[in-house]
Structure 1
Amino acid sequence: MPDGWNNTSLRELTIHLRPTPRTGFSCKMPRYYLDLYSSDGLTVDEEGQVFESRDRLRREAVRILPDILRDEMLEDDRAAIAVKVRDEAGSHVLEASLVICLKWRA
């Protein structure tokens, strides 16, 4: 083992190695793009974000929906929004959506 390394360092390095179809193993964490579909149309995520796991990606997609919906509801009594997540290859890997409808009673 190289100087300065210990079992913990080796274990942390192993966690970040992931097999990929093209290159074998990669230390790079995947970048995902969260595109927003709302009444304003499509807002494309050009920068993307890196997530350490699919669970963190799922949590982020769900977390942002209420914030966006809150802004949408200021103008109307009905709103539907969706976050569609693309991977680096451009494939859609996850979709999260939220619909809310308010109805007044006489």
Structure 2
Amino acid sequence: MSRYYFDLDNGDGRTRDDEGVELPDNAGAIKEASRIVTDLARDELVECGNGRIWLTIRKSDGNVLAVASLLFDTKFIEFQPAGES
């Protein structure tokens, strides 16, 4: 088991993870990052309709393993029935 840290940047500045999470391997860290990003999107981005989240995964030695990001953008389209202008 290794400790992984997940630093968040959601456009409001960076939040550094100083606690981390014990996970079995790098694949587990990627899976955890995916869960975190989708949870954040559901909780934060749905309210504002758009935004971007970056999650930097650091290993316990300080090296960056990966960066997971998600872009969320909603565009409303005014509906017109076919044949009307």
Aligned counterparts of 1:39 and 1:74: Cα–Cα separation in 2:
15
Match of 1:102 among 74, 78, 82: 74
- Aligned residue in 1 for 2:62: 90
Deviation sequence 1:30-89 (CA, Å, 0-9, x none): 211111110322111001111111111111011111110122224422110011011122
Letter in 1 for 2:67: E
- In the TM superposition, 1:37-48 aligns within 5 A as 37-48=9-20
For structure 1, the residue ranges without an aligned partner over 5 or more in a row are 1-28
Question: TM-score normalized by structure 1?
Answer: 0.66
- Aligned residue in 2 for 1:64: 36
Question: TM-score normalized by structure 2?
Answer: 0.80
Aligned CA RMSD, in angstroms, stands at: 1.4
Asked if 1:81 corresponds to 2:50, the answer is no
Q: Secondary structure at the match of 1:84?
A: strand
Asked if 1:50 corresponds to 2:22, the answer is yes
Aligned length: 78
| Percent identity for Structure 1 against Structure 2 | 36
For structure 2, the residue ranges without an aligned partner over 5 or more in a row are 79-85
Q: Relative contact order: is structure 1 or structure 2 higher (C-alpha 8 Å, sep ≥ 6)?
A: 2
Which structure has the greater CA radius of gyration? 1
Deviation sequence 1:1-27 (CA, Å, 0-9, x none): xxxxxxxxxxxxxxxxxxxxxxxxxxx
